[in-house]
């Protein structure tokens, strides 16, 4: 009895239900937890956007607090550092996105080229490791190299008979170091998506290419990369949304609050944190968050639009 | 068929739950004791079991005293305390009172997170009011309103230094150290250490305290405040004062002269002297948490009661408190009843501490409850039992100290930063950028300081100073100063 029932349902998988739609109850049930999560944690809190335009008074609540127009946004633009923080945020963001699109793909291709599956898996695991280390711990690892008195680098300098350097006020080093750390930490994790997509490429394509005499290099260039281009485009569009929101932990914890490094480490997030740490003004912090979200939203939709213009398949929505 | 049965069962179960819930609500009458939810910060969060035992004892005692209330204590560690309380306040969660520290207290009071309790203090806590004194309670007010009850403890502080007791004795420097008045008197002593202990840093520089710290200044909102060594009428920019300039140059000279070892870490305790905020018995407190014994130098600064001294440590009553009358009655008991007070501070006798004599106890380690070292947080510290490490004359010394404090001309003044909050935020960023560089010492302090001042001006420091001056003048006129 039961087995028969199962069979019929699987046969009439796309039978129309009474509402005229397809009967996708099972799929819907699977999606439900995620949708609920989205609704509760992403859409309901949107009401909080109001806070950005209000002069909050806890005794009146969010809705009844007086409006204050765009005053909460002003602090972001009226500091002598405004130019620097926007420049830093955008530049680190852009470099991160470009390297984040190239390096993980290269790594994924390299991993899949390895003949021994065992070695490939081992490398993948090792590459994943940094992703799971907290930025705070990374900041101490960095300090163990760069600390003035106890760091490995200055010990080396001393042994070589050179003057020790105060790395935490050496502005030139940090842009590279921060970019490197950010890349290093996410590289293995981001490569996973590409490794999975490469595994999904039809093997007959490679076989045909090999019979036609294509070298391994040519196979990568003419088969793997074009097959990956859609997923690369999607990842790129998604990461562009984060252009204006930099990683707070990276820019706050790793440079150890060294004032001398502010010209290259102060980004919007750290600026907001330092401005409001004492004032603790939720109106102003919401304003900063909202501004970043709106800019991110515009960037995502416009880059998606541009991608769609270039190649319809590459647009996400 | 089966499905409909299950559905019925589900509906029935839901109905049962609702009825039970309603019944539960129905039972609540005015006779039910009011649960007082309070939040404390601590270095070591008590275990649930030990805390529950203390609460049971507290509740038994409250019932004996005919106070219709139950105490529900919540302890949070330093790392999560501020954020947790701010989230609770922003979310309008019900709690009755919490420990509130200076800046947070002011900013949350400005956003009306707390309840005005002036009348309630008069009505339900007259003894507490007497203990604290009219003037001190007034000093704790923000625009004439009390939102909480300040701790009764040392009411002021003074800048000074600590030195390693053993090293000072080794080189016979103790007498000299105990008579220094200014930092210039310290320099020859540092010179001795530099010569005799080449591996040790004669002076430790934390990046927070430096020579500038010895200059008495009452900050309203960084960088505006008044000089305590002047007549106290003019609000100035701290960073623009000649004293700050001189101190910054001196610090850099200290680095050049090799008194400060760049990159030295406090936890290594490889230094001879350091700057600290002092109160009577501070050296004992510091030594207890370190490897070596330290002694404090009391002769470098005058003990001041600053504008914010009375607002530093409070038990602030939340606006979400449902029964402030009962809470105030509890506060009165907590601040005046020696048994109840010590029960909450140290826990249960025999379980959490051993009693040595009538007024001295020895906390039992790892007993799961106890706030030794955090007594200052808990209201009236004058009725605390002393621990074995405390100075037996602690109470009399503290009283004497409080009686001899010099009051800042701005004592009781609260700066409302609402109008200049954008400038205050911007200046804080500038401070974070420059202050550490200057207080750790650098190659060209004058140039850095000039940049610092210029950037502060660009961030609106002059506007803060002007606004502070306006409010301060108004306050002085209103208070007849």
Instruction: Quote the pLDDT of residue A16.
Output: 61
Phi, psi torsion values for B97, nearest 5 degrees: -150, 160
Burial of B400 (0-12, 13-18, 19+ CB in 10 A): exposed
The predicted structure's pLDDT at residue B148:
93
Q: Where are the beta strands (DSSP E) in B61-170?
A: 69-77, 97-101, 148-150, 158-164
Cα A156 from chain centroid? Answer: 35
A56 touches chain B (CB under 8 A): yes
Q: Show the tokens assigned to A64.
A: 């009844």
Q: Which CATH class is domain B31-155+306-412?
A: alpha beta
Question: Where is pLDDT greater, at A186 or A9?
Answer: A186
Does the structure show a pLDDT above 80 at B26? no
Beta carbons of A53 and A59 less than 8 angstroms apart: no
Q: Which of B23-32, B91-100, B138-147, B182-191 has the lowest mean pLDDT?
A: B23-32
Asked whether the predicted pLDDT for residue B14 surpasses 70, the reply is no
Q: Which domains does chain A have, with CATH numbers?
A: 2-41 (no CATH), 57-314 (1.10.3720.10)
Neighbours of A107 (CB within 10 A): 20
Mean pLDDT of chain B: 88
Quote the pLDDT of residue A313: 79
How confident is the model at residue A22, as a pLDDT? 66
pLDDT of B7 strictly over 60 = no
Whether chain B has a CB inside 8 Å of the CB on A147: the answer is: yes
How far apart are the C-alpha atoms of B481 and B478, rounded to whole Å?
8
Q: Which of B416, B434, B427 is nearest to B461 (CA)?
A: B427
Rg (CA), chain A: 25
Mean pLDDT of B437-465: 93
Which segment of B200-214, B270-284, B465-479 scores lowest on mean pLDDT?
B200-214
Per-residue pLDDT band at B170 (split at 50, 70, 90): very high
> Three-class SS of residue A127?
helix
pLDDT of residue A316: 75
pLDDT over 80 (residue A48): yes
- To the nearest whole percent, how much of chain B has pLDDT over 90? 60
B interface with A, Cβ–Cβ below 8 Å: 86, 89-90, 92, 103-104, 107-108, 111-113, 261-265, 319, 417, 421-422, 424-426, 428-430, 432-437, 455, 458-460
Are B376 and B351 a contacting pair, CB within 8 Å? no
The H or E element spanning position A59 is none
User: How many angstroms separate the CA atoms of B353 and A210, rounded?
Assistant: 81
- Bridge partner list, B38: B73, B97
Q: Is the pLDDT of residue B124 over 80?
A: yes
pLDDT at A58: 85
Question: What residue ranges do the domains of chain B occupy?
Answer: 31-155+306-412, 158-205+260-302, 218-238+416-481
Q: Kindly identify which residue of chain A lies nearest to residue B461, measuring between CA atoms.
A: A79
B248 pLDDT band (50/70/90 cuts)?
very high
Lowest-confidence region among A16-25, A156-165, B175-184 = A16-25
Instruction: Give chain A's mean pLDDT.
Output: 88
Predicted pLDDT of residue B23:
45
Distance of alpha carbon A147 from alpha carbon B340, whole angstroms: 50
Sheet with B271-278, edge to edge strand ranges: B201-204, B271-278, B158-164, B294-297
Instruction: Return d(Cα B156, Cα B323) in angstroms, integer.
Output: 33
Q: Which of A100-104, B167-171, B392-396 has the lowest mean pLDDT?
A: B392-396
Tell me the nearest-neighbour CA distance from B421 into chain A, angstroms: 8
Q: What pLDDT score does A3 carry?
A: 45
Residue A1 has pLDDT above 60, yes or no: no
Contact B293, B175 (CB under 8 A): no
- B62-76 average pLDDT score: 94
pLDDT tens column, A167-221: 998 999 999 999 999 999 999 999 999 999 999 999 999 999 999 999 989 999 9
Closest partner residue to B111 among A56, A271, A278, by Cβ? A56
Q: Which two tokens stand for residue A54?
A: 């209000």
The separation between CA B283 and the C-alpha centre of its own chain, rounded to angstroms, equals: 18
User: Choosing among B207, B416, B428, B432, which should be mutated to test the A contact, i.e. which has the most A CBs within 10 A?
Assistant: B432
Structure-model confidence comparison of residues B348 and B391, the more confident one: B348
Tell me the torsion sign for CA atoms B403, B408, B414, B417.
negative
Distances (CA, A) of B344 to B283, B314, B370: 26, 16, 8
In this predicted structure, what is the pLDDT of residue A13?
A: 52
pLDDT band at B43 (very low <50, low <70, confident <90, very high): confident
At B306-359, the pLDDT tens digits run 888 888 899 999 999 999 999 999 999 999 999 999 999 999 999 999 999 989
Cβ <8 Å between B421 and A75? yes
Structure tokens at B380: 């009236």
pLDDT at B10 over 70: no
How would you class B19 by CB atoms within 10 Å of its CB: exposed for 0-12, middle for 13-18, buried for 19 or more? exposed
Two structure tokens written together for B100: 């509130």
Output the pLDDT for position A311. Answer: 84
Distance CA A65, CA B285 (A): 45
Does the beta-carbon distance from B262 to A148 stay under 8 Å? yes
Mean pLDDT of the A91-115 span: 92
Residues across chain A? 317
Nearest residue in chain A measured CA to CA from B264 = A149
pLDDT band at B4 (very low <50, low <70, confident <90, very high): low
Find the mean pLDDT for residues B363-389.
90
Residue A79 has pLDDT above 90, yes or no: no
Q: Is the pLDDT of residue A106 over 70?
A: yes
């Amino acid at each position: 009895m039961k087995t028969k029932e199962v069979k019929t349902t699987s046969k009439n998988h796309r039978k129309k239900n009474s509402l005229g739609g397809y009967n996708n109850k099972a799929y819907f049930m699977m999606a439900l937890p995620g949708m609920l999560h989205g609704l509760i944690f992403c859409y309901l809190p949107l009401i909080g956007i109001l806070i950005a335009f209000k002069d909050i008074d806890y005794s009146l609540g969010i809705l009844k607090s007086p409006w204050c127009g765009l005053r909460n946004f002003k602090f972001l633009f009226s500091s002598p550092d405004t130019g620097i923080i926007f420049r830093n945020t955008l530049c680190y963001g852009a470099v991160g996105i470009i390297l984040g699109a190239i390096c993980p793909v290269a790594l994924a291709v390299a991993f899949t080229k390895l003949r021994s599956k065992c070695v490939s898996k081992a490398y993948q695991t090792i590459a994943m490791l940094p992703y799971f280390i907290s930025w705070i711990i990374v900041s101490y690892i960095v300090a163990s190299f760069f600390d003035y008195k106890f760091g490995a680098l200055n010990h080396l300098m001393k042994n070589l008979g050179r003057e020790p350097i105060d790395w935490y006020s050496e502005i030139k080093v940090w842009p590279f170091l921060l970019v490197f750390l950010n890349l290093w930490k996410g590289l293995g994790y981001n490569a996973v998506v590409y490794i999975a997509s490469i595994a999904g490429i039809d093997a007959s394509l490679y076989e045909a290419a090999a019979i036609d005499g294509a070298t391994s290099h040519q196979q990568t260039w003419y088969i793997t990369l074009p097959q990956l281009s859609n997923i690369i485009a999607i990842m790129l569009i998604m990461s562009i949304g984060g252009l204006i929101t930099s990683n707070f932990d990276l820019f706050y914890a790793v440079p150890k609050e060294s004032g001398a490094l502010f010209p290259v480490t102060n980004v919007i997030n750290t600026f907001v944190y330092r401005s409001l740490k004492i004032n603790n003004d939720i109106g102003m912090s919401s304003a900063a968050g909202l501004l970043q979200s709106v800019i991110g939203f515009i960037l995502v939709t416009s880059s998606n639009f541009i991608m769609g213009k270039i190649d319809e398949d590459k647009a996400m929505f | 068929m089966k499905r409909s049965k299950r559905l019925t069962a589900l509906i029935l179960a839901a109905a049962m739950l609702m009825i039970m819930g309603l019944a539960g609500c129905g039972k609540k009458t005015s006779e039910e004791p009011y649960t007082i939810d309070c939040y404390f910060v601590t270095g070591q969060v008590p275990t649930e079991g030990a805390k529950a035992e203390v609460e049971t004892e507290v509740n038994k005692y409250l019932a004996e005293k005919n106070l219709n209330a139950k105490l529900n204590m919540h302890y949070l560690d330093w790392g999560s305390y501020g954020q947790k309380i701010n989230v609770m306040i922003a979310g309008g969660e019900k709690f009755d009172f919490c420990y509130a520290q200076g800046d947070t207290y002011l900013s949350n009071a400005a956003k009306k997170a707390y309840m005005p309790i002036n009348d309630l203090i008069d009505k339900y806590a007259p003894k507490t009011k007497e203990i604290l004194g009219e003037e001190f309670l007034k000093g704790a007010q923000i625009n004439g309103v009390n939102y909480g009850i300040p701790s009764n403890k040392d009411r002021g502080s003074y800048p000074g230094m600590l030195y390693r007791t053993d090293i000072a004795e080794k080189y016979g420097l103790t007498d000299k150290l105990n008579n220094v008045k200014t930092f210039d008197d310290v320099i020859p002593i540092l010179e001795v250490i530099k010569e005799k202990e080449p591996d040790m840093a004669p002076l430790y520089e934390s990046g927070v305290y430096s020579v500038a710290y010895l200059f008495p200044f009452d900050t309203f909102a960084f960088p505006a405040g008044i000089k305590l060594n002047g007549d106290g009428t003019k609000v100035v920019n701290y960073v623009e004062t000649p004293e700050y300039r001189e101190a910054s140059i001196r610090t850099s000279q200290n680095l050049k002269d090799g008194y400060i070892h760049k990159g030295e870490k406090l936890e290594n305790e490889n230094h001879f002297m350091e700057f600290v905020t002092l109160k009577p018995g501070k050296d004992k407190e510091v030594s207890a948490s370190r490897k070596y014994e330290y002694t404090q130098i009391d002769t470098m600064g005058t003990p001041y009661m600053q504008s914010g001294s009375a607002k530093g440590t409070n038990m602030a009553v939340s606006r979400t408190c449902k029964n402030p009358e009962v809470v105030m009655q509890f506060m009165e008991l907590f601040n005046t009843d020696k048994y109840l007070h010590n029960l909450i501070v140290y826990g249960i006798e025999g379980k959490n501490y051993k009693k040595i004599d009538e007024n001295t106890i020895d906390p039992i380690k790892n007993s799961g409850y106890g706030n030794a070292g955090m007594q200052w947080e808990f209201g009236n510290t004058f009725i605390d039992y002393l621990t074995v490490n405390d100075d037996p004359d602690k109470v009399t010394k503290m009283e004497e100290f409080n009686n001899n404090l010099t009051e800042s001309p701005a004592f009781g003044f609260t700066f409302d930063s609402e109008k200049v909050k954008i400038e205050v935020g911007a200046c804080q960023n500038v401070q974070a950028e420059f202050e550490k560089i200057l207080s750790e010492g650098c190659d060209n302090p004058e140039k850095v300081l000039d940049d610092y001042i210029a950037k502060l001006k660009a961030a609106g420091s002059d506007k803060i100073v002007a606004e502070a001056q306006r409010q301060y003048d108004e306050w002085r006129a209103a208070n007849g100063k």
